Amino acid sequence: MNLNLKIWRQKNSQDKGQFMEFHAKDISEDMSFLEMMDVVNEQLIKDGKEPVEFDHDCREGICGACSMVINGNPHGPDKATTTCQLHMRRFKDGDSIVIEPFRAKAFPVIRDLVVDRSAFDRIIEAGGFISASTGNAQDANCLPIAKDHADRAFSAATCIGCGACVAACKNASASLFVSAKIAHLGLLPQGQAERERRALRMVAAMDESGFGGCTNTGACSAACPKEIGQENIAMMNRDFMRSSAKNRD
């Protein structure tokens, strides 16, 4: 198939940037979206032009690096799918595809489709861990965990930190990401000692990084490739308010 691509090109964070048109020729429907981008870049290199910069790593839907907005949808039109898992059979010959980076104040563009998502790292550094010494690993049955808690913790732990929730939110909120990390640890026995302090610090780091507030539109969950639920945001808000009340001056 042959496709018309409109790709965002930006030299650096100071550059204004613009959309540029490209033609992808002889694309197989069995290719992944990133393989299609590789074909486009190979042709650009042959023509002596600069290839399009984009992030990728595992290409298995695990790392979350493949952050692109495709025709207005973070990671593309398919539900519960990362960009690297999106296949060209989803498109038709002659289609026009608009490709741009994740848009958020806290995700400044580095070059082309690559954005700086280090704000997520700073949020994790603020409290997304367990610092209490737990000694050697215990047998699994030594720490009883209610099944509903184990299931919810596992579901929250599937978050890959891709940032699609931020790109989809009209406020560029990181609440779904932060709440998933808080819920993952807060629902397990090992995370209880620092549960409230964790919420306080991670929410503060989220605000300091310039992310917007959550207004419960649900766009974050709809765009999430791992289908993280909004119930985690409710848990984060409860933990944050409880911790705030206890730590008033």
- 52-62 burial code (b ≥16 CB/10 A, e <16): bbbbbeebebe
| Average pLDDT, 10 consecutive residues per value, the chain (249 residues) | 98 96 96 98 97 97 96 97 97 98 97 98 96 74 87 97 98 98 94 92 97 96 97 96 83
Which tokens is 170 given? Answer: 């009209």
- Whole-number pLDDT of residue 249: 55
Which candidate, 4, 6, 29, 32, places its Cα nearest to that of 17?
6
| Residue range(s) occupied by CATH 3.10.20.30 in the chain | 3-111
| Residue range(s) occupied by CATH 1.10.1060.10 in the chain | 117-246
Which tokens is 22 given? Answer: 């490209």
CATH superfamily of 117-246: Alpha-helical ferredoxin (1.10.1060.10)
Contact predicate 163/64, CB 8 Å: yes
- Whole-number pLDDT of residue 246: 83
What is the model's pTM? 0.94
- Whole-number pLDDT of residue 42: 97
CATH topology of domain 3-111: Ubiquitin-like (UB roll) (3.10.20)
Q: How far is CA 172 from CA 55, 141, 218, 220, 249, in A?
A: 20, 41, 12, 9, 31
**Which amino acid, residue 128?**
G
- Whole-number pLDDT of residue 143: 81
Contact predicate 75/90, CB 8 Å: no
| Alpha carbon 163 to chain centroid, angstroms | 2
Which tokens is 246 given? Answer: 């206890």
